[in-house]
Structure 1
């Protein structure tokens, strides 16, 4: 049973990856936008790193997580879009007639989306190194950043897949991911928490899980191995993944019951 599930997930993930590779323009714009954020924000806002609250931190390392998280949000939509396409062309219905695990039908596109995000994040980090990025924790710090990015992407992909299975509509699945973009800007996106002056924005940043994702990545990149700061990002990921994957699973069961 276990081997059958793993095989089903592998085959459906492989199919989703191959589908993505055949349509590179489905992910290239998102990658370019994320790199655009990195280049523009570094060149236009790096001067504020001279403020005392930054404590001499490199602004490139400070803004890099914003580019990575924007890639995670944009890339997550691919999981939902892939499921909607399968529903519209009838492939999803044919899958339901096979012995393939229902869980693998959901996880295949989600895992493919995570792999896509992994490649995108690597490319973004490579560009950052060409721009002069210095990582306080070295190679293993980059591994932590990649793990955080993949975990956060998994949470977004689960939500995207859930919306796709619930609505069976491409526009709704795409629009569903847009609600996450405000999470980026209602956070410590451009300045540290200490420099946020508006009380309402401080409250929003405090309850916003993206704040803790940024904080974990920035700790690794700038401050070093401060374990509690890093752990908060993984806790946020665990909570978000539990919610979104559960949502996707429930939506999948309802989609299967409706045929």
Structure 2
């Protein structure tokens, strides 16, 4: 049974990846926007890295996580869109008539979205290195950033898939993902927590899980191997994934029961 599940997930993930490759314009805009963020923010705001709170850190390394996380949020929407397309063209109903595991039907598009994000993050990192990025923890640190990005993307992909299965509507699935973009800016997006002056924004940043993803990536990129700084992001990802994947699974169960 375990081998059957793995095979089903492999087949459906492969199909989702091939479908994405046939429509490159579905993910290229998200990649371009994330790269644009990186170029503009580094060019326009790098001067504030001279403030004492930055402690001499390179602003490119500080702002890079914003570009990576924005790619994660935008790319994760692809999982939901793929499921909605399958529902609309009848493929989802035909899948339900096959022996394929119901879990694989949900995980296939989610894993494909993760792979898409993995490639996007690598391309963004290449651009950052061409701009002069230096990573305090070296190659292993780059791998940690990739894993954090993919983990955060998994959480959003689960949410996107859950919304798609619950609503069976492309517009609703897209809108459900877009509401997470404000999370990027209600965080330590442009400056460290210490430089945020508004009390309400400090509260928002404290309860915002995106803050801990940013801090984990920045710890790896700037500060080095500091356990708690990295662990906070991993914990945030684990909690978010547990919630969103459960939401997707429950939505799939209801979608199947409704036929």
Normalization by structure 2: what TM-score?
1.00
1:143-222 maps to which residues of 2 (within 5 A)?
143-222=143-222
CA distance in 2, matches of 1:249, 1:179: 21
What 5-or-longer segments of structure 2 have no aligned partner? none
CA distance in 2, matches of 1:179, 1:205: 16
* Cα deviations by residue, 1:156-180 (Å, 9 ceiling, x for unpaired): 0000000000000000000000111
CA distance in 2, matches of 1:220, 1:179: 28
1:75-90 maps to which residues of 2 (within 5 A)?
75-90=75-90
CA distance in 2, matches of 1:247, 1:226: 33
CA distance in 2, matches of 1:113, 1:45: 31
1:41: how far off?
0.1
For the pair 1:108 / 2:111, whether they are aligned, the reply is no
Partner of 2:34: 34
Q: Pairwise CA RMSD of aligned residues?
A: 0.2
Partner of 2:50: 50
1:121: how far off?
0.1
CA distance in 2, matches of 1:173, 1:125: 28
1:227: how far off?
0.7
Moved over 6 A (4+): none
Partner SS for 2:191: coil
Normalization by structure 1: what TM-score?
1.00
Aligned residues: 259
1:195: how far off?
0.1
1:138: how far off?
0.1
Partner SS for 1:187: coil
